[in-house]
Amino acid sequence: MTKSRLALEITHWVIPEIDVPLSCEFTYDPQDPLAVTLVLDTEGVRPVTWILSRDLLADGLIAREGDGDVVLWPLLDHDGESDSFCLRVGGARTALFEIPTEPVTDWLERTYAMVPQGAELDGVDWDELVQLAE
């Protein structure tokens, strides 16, 4: 099965008054079905890669999710609708990004068509993993 990719422009909020457009790419690999790879600043000199839980990303589109180094939450308008969501990454030094919701939601639906939610571990050979751990 091939990987699914989504490239888009997002906003890096340097400080509340200064935002910088930034390119990023989400990648989903069915060989690693629980994870989503996010590469920030794909056109820059030093792109940054984060590995997120696919379910964390999906849940963060509708409610505040995450703790520690990765936190996501939707940005709601006056009608309670969300056109974008925030992603905060980092430990002692954090970065804040605003990402459009619709393309990410559409892309996530395609990843769930590839490997349905709850079926991510269906192909795991648990006996082999136990042998490797011994």
Planar angle of CA 90, 61, 95, nearest 5 degrees: 20
Mean pLDDT of the chain, nearest integer: 89
CATH topology of domain 4-133: Transcriptional Co-activator pc4; Chain A (2.30.31)
- Kindly indicate the confidence band of residue 74, based on its pLDDT and cuts at 50, 70 and 90: very high
Those residues with Cβ within 8 angstroms of residue 102's Cβ, 6 or more apart along the chain or in another chain? 83
Sorted by where each begins, the domain ranges of the chain are 4-133
The pTM of the full predicted model, rounded to 2 decimals, is 0.85
Contact predicate 29/37, CB 8 Å: yes
pLDDT for 84-118, tens place per residue? 999 999 877 889 999 999 999 999 999 999 888 87
Q: In a 3-state reduction of DSSP, which class is residue 97?
A: strand
